[in-house]
Structure 1
Amino acid sequence: MTIGQAQGERVSHTTQLARWQGEKAVYHLLVITGDAAEAIAMHARLLRLEYGTRRGFGSVKVIARLGETTWKSSVFPQNKASEWILLVSKKVMRAEDLAAGDQVTMELELL
């Protein structure tokens, strides 16, 4: 994994597309760490201070971009917000011709 770079309300990060087998389905996800994870955690703290509450599961709304594909989603904290998870749908994977193990660079606009 490569450490991401925070740019104000936008974060970019390069990582490997991971596959996770749940009880009922297979999920594909991107794990966000390093500077990018810190920027998201700070954004979440600021929102909590501003609104006095946090979103479900501590998530942060984002507009995500992989290649030419953009979609609205949320990132979810892991390990006390030192890592964040972005789920990637089959529709996005098909549009960008992605498979588990591919190295990708994502861009996130924090909402």
Structure 2
Amino acid sequence: MGGQPPTYAFESRVWCVPGDAAWHFVTLPADVSDDIRARSDGGGRPGFGSVPVHVRVGESRWETSVFPDARSGCYVLPLKKPVRQAEGLEEGDAVTVEVTAR
């Protein structure tokens, strides 16, 4: 699928995996996950099936990867602490996210 990859904009809620590390994530919507999976060949990728992405949340922009979540069937996006602090995000907050697969 040639050309520039699409940018997906969506709203999701911040959720957390309990524990000392307190990993925070947002879940990509099913339709966005399905499209990214189809465009990235769906499997055989290194890093547990991760897909590298460019992300924007508020004024924060960074490069990371989204990871498949077996429970939801969707990709999840990790939110690093510096991003959460810069954007004032906590568990349960609604957040608008823009994601572009790299």
Which residue of 53, 64, 68 corresponds with 2:55? 64
Report sequence identity in percent: 32
Where relative contact order (Cα < 8 A, 6+ residues apart) is larger, the structure is 2
Which residue of 63, 85, 89 corresponds with 1:94? 85
Which residue of 9, 13, 16 corresponds with 1:16? 13
Q: For the residues of structure 1 that align with 2:90 and 2:84, how far apart are their CA atoms?
A: 7
State TM-score, norm by structure 1: 0.79
Match for residue 68 of structure 2? 77
Computed over aligned residues only, the root mean square deviation of the Cα atoms, in angstroms, reads 2.1
Q: Which runs of 4+ in 1 moved over 4 A?
A: none
Bigger proportion of residues as strand: 1
- Give the C-alpha shift of residue 25 in structure 1: 1.2
What are the superposed Cα offsets for residues 47-74 of structure 1, whole Å, 9 maximum, x if unpaired? x6xxxx5221000000111011000100
Which residue of 30, 34, 39 corresponds with 2:35? 39
Q: For the residues of structure 2 that align with 1:107 and 1:42, how far apart are their CA atoms?
A: 18
Aligned AA (1:105):
T
Secondary structure of residue in 1 paired with 2:40: helix
Q: Count matched residues.
A: 99
Cα pair 1:17 1:29 within 8 Å, conserved = yes
- Give the C-alpha shift of residue 80 in structure 1: 8.2
